Amino acid sequence: MLHFLLLSTLLLMAQADPFQLDALIQYVDSHQDEYVETLRDWVAVESDSSDVLKRAELEHMMDITAEKLRKMGGKVELVDIGDQELSDGTKIPLPKVVTAQFGSDSSKRTVCIYGHVDVQPAKKEDGWATDPYNLTEINGNLYGRGASDNKAPVLAWIHAVEAYQALNMELPVNVKYILEGMEETGSNGLDAMISQHNHTFFSDVDYIIISDCGWLSRKPALTYGTRGNCYFLAEVEGPKQDLHSGVFGGTVFEPMTDLIGILDTLIDSSGKILIPGINEAVAALTEEEMKLYEGIEFDLESYQRKIGVDRLMYSSKADLLAHRWRYPTVSIHGIEGAFSAPGTKTVIPAKVIAKFSIRQVPDMDPLLVEKQVSDHLNAEFAKRNSPNKLKVTMVIGAKPWVADLKDSLYEAGKRAVKTVLGADPDMIREGGTIPIARTFQDVTGKRIIMLPIGGFDDGLHSQNEKMSRYNYIEGTKLFVAYLHEVAQVWKVVI
Pick out the residues of the known binding site for Mn(2+): 116, 149, 184, 212, 461
Which candidate, 123, 162, 158, 132, places its Cα nearest to that of 40?
132
Collapsing DSSP to helix, strand or coil, 2 comes out as helix
204 counts as catalytic:
no
Type of residue numbered 34: E
Residues 6+ apart with CB under 8 A from 326: 225, 227, 282, 283, 285, 289, 361, 362, 429
Angle (CA) 34-38-39 rounded to 5° is 115
Could you tell me which residues are annotated as the binding site?
116, 149, 184, 212, 461
Whole-number Å distance between alpha carbons of 382 and 291? 45
Identity of residue 413: G
> Which among 48, 162, 183, 430 is annotated as catalytic?
183
Distances (CA, A) of 413 to 258, 272, 325, 372, 404: 51, 36, 21, 39, 13
361 in Cβ contact with 399 (< 8 Å): no
According to the 3-state scheme, what is the secondary structure of 286-301? Answer: CHHHHHHHHCCCCCHH
Closest to 156 (Cα-Cα) out of 411, 441, 436, 481: 481
Q: Is the Cβ–Cβ distance between 416 and 481 less than 8 Å?
A: yes
CA distances from 146 to 47, 132, 463, 466 (A): 9, 9, 11, 8
- The candidate with the shortest Cα–Cα distance to 231, out of 101, 350, 359, 134, is 359
Distance of CA 110 to the CA centre of its chain: 23
Inter-residue contact 227 to 432 (CB < 8 Å): yes
DSSP 348-365: E-SEEEEEEEEEE-TT--
Cα distances (angstroms) measured from residue 438 to each of 196, 360, 398, 431: 16, 12, 8, 15
Residue 419's contacts (CB-CB under 8 Å, 6 or more residues apart) are 21, 481, 485
Considering Cα of 458, then 464, then 466, then 469, what sign does the dihedral take?
A: negative
Name, in order, each residue with C-beta under 8 angstroms of 68's C-beta and a sequence gap of 6 or more: 38, 158
Residue 351 phi, psi dihedral angles, 5° rounding: -150, 135
Q: Pick the catalytic residue from 118, 254, 258, 458.
A: 118
| Helix residue ranges, H only, 125-278 | 152-166, 190-196, 245-248, 255-263
| Active site annotation includes 183 | yes
DSSP state of 159: H
Strand partners, 92: 84
| Catalytic machinery residues | 118, 183
